[in-house]
Structure 1
Amino acid sequence: MTAADDATRRAAEELRAAGCQALDELRDLVGILRTAPEGDHTPSAAGFAELIAESVAVGIPTELIEEGDPALASPVVGRTAYRVLREALTNVRKHAPGARVNVRVEYDHAQVRLTVRNAPPNGTSRSALAGTGSGLGIAHLRQRIELVHGTLRAGPCCDGGSSVEATLPAFVPTSESAV
């Protein structure tokens, strides 16, 4: 970085920046694969019914269909799926009030697939609620899911509703699974 010519200095700076980014990404991955910290009480797939009940209680007609055995999802996958469902239902509350929501979770030995699909909104979005949050919920979920080699698709549907679909590997090894 102290070389005499500009090209060498630029190349060294690019290499340094790439190394820093790689270390940051590695730290994120290690953080996800570790056992949940003492303060992380994020429920797993077992908490889906509670999220559905909360949605119904605030006037969002929501149905949950589960296929397969939730025990097939490793703990980190269950917590990640819970976060996806929580974010998707929060977005429906903010941007599609009154819309009917269908949640489908499919568990098998290879993967867990979570689909949250809402119909077009029945009411007007409450601007105060719609404007809350960072606007990065889906982007942050996408990063978390990609770190465990899953995929996330989110966006509008042709009928005016929207959908969020996460496909996760059923098993992600962590220190929890070694116990």
Structure 2
Amino acid sequence: MEENKPYTISIYTENNIGLLNRISAIFQRRHINIESINSSVSEIENISKWTIVVELTEERMKKIIGQIEKQVEVIKAYYHREDEIIYQESCLFKIKSELLFEERQIQNIIKESNSNIVTVNKEFFVLEKSGRTEEIELLHRELEVFGIMQLTRSGRISVSKEEMKISKMLEAFSN
């Protein structure tokens, strides 16, 4: 039996109200949890790019892509294995300021993790880390022992290693 693997889905769409509900319903009906979701502008004017991360079998992934592409506003959907993309996530950690000045280990963690201090005031400082999932999870574990006041994490953003011919396809479509 085929095992679940992480897949990153890239969906190019028109930017229409209600599409998020319909796409999330495709996953919900099949009891598939969305690990992360991000929507942004794409390299093509007036076209949005969604990046969704899920864990399932490739056979189920192909069926999901077929269902997504049936949505009128969806221009094209792709799925990628982890080794087929370059991706980043971002995380903000809010931590008590006194730790920054009193705990030498915190300064070492910041330096070693290549994270950035976004702001500092009397009560707290905010640390930003962008990178792969494992890097962010490691930093989270290291900071957790000192106490994290707040944490927020972005969805994945990614580009494929292989060319996706979506731009050329849309050029031909618009002419």
Structure 2-normalised TM-score? 0.26
Say which structure, 1 or 2, has more relative contact order (CA 8 Å, 6+ apart).
2
